[in-house]
Structure 1
Amino acid sequence: MKTKLLFFIFSFLFFINSNAQCAMCRAVLESEAGQGTAKGINNGIVYLMAVPYVLVFGLGFFIYRKYFTKPKA
């Protein structure tokens, strides 16, 4: 169980640092002198991509907990 939790945490942290741009966005932003806008676009795309996964994980966790926990006696 600890191994799975550590794997999830490390994979989530690796996911946060990934670059997520489409080809058109990358081409437009690389022609810019400063890279501040490109970093902001990357962070925004990663944020928008991560939110649905977090919501689905939370929903799945609550469903799992509801159906697979033993009732208190």
Structure 2
Amino acid sequence: MKKIFATLLILSLCFCFSFNASAQCAMCTANAEMGVKNGNTQTKGLNSGVIYLLAIPFLLVSTVGVVWYRNYRAK
């Protein structure tokens, strides 16, 4: 029980003190920088799309982990 509480505490602290990251490939970065200089607001949509594409693998891996853990604990 202490391990679960410690893990949840560490995860919650990581989420509370996380930094805003906008990860992009080189071509996306060049297009986004040109958009900012020209006053184009499409760069926010580009950043949101990148974050959306990054979130899907994390959700899939966590789902597989939860299913595996439940099946492991059931034995």
After TM superposition, the score normalised by the length of structure 2 is 0.69
Query: Which residue does 1:22 correspond to in 2?
Result: 25
Structure 1 SS opposite 2:66: helix
Deviates more, 1:58-67 or 1:2-11: 2-11
Q: Across the two proteins, how many residue pairs are aligned to each other?
A: 69
Unaligned 5+ runs, structure 1: none
Out of 5, 8, 11, which is 1:8 matched to?
11
Paired-residue identity, %: 42
Letter of the structure 2 residue corresponding to residue 4 of structure 1: T
- For residues 54-69 of structure 1, what are the structure 2 equivalents within 5 Å? 54-69=59-74
Out of 44, 47, 57, which is 2:49 matched to?
44
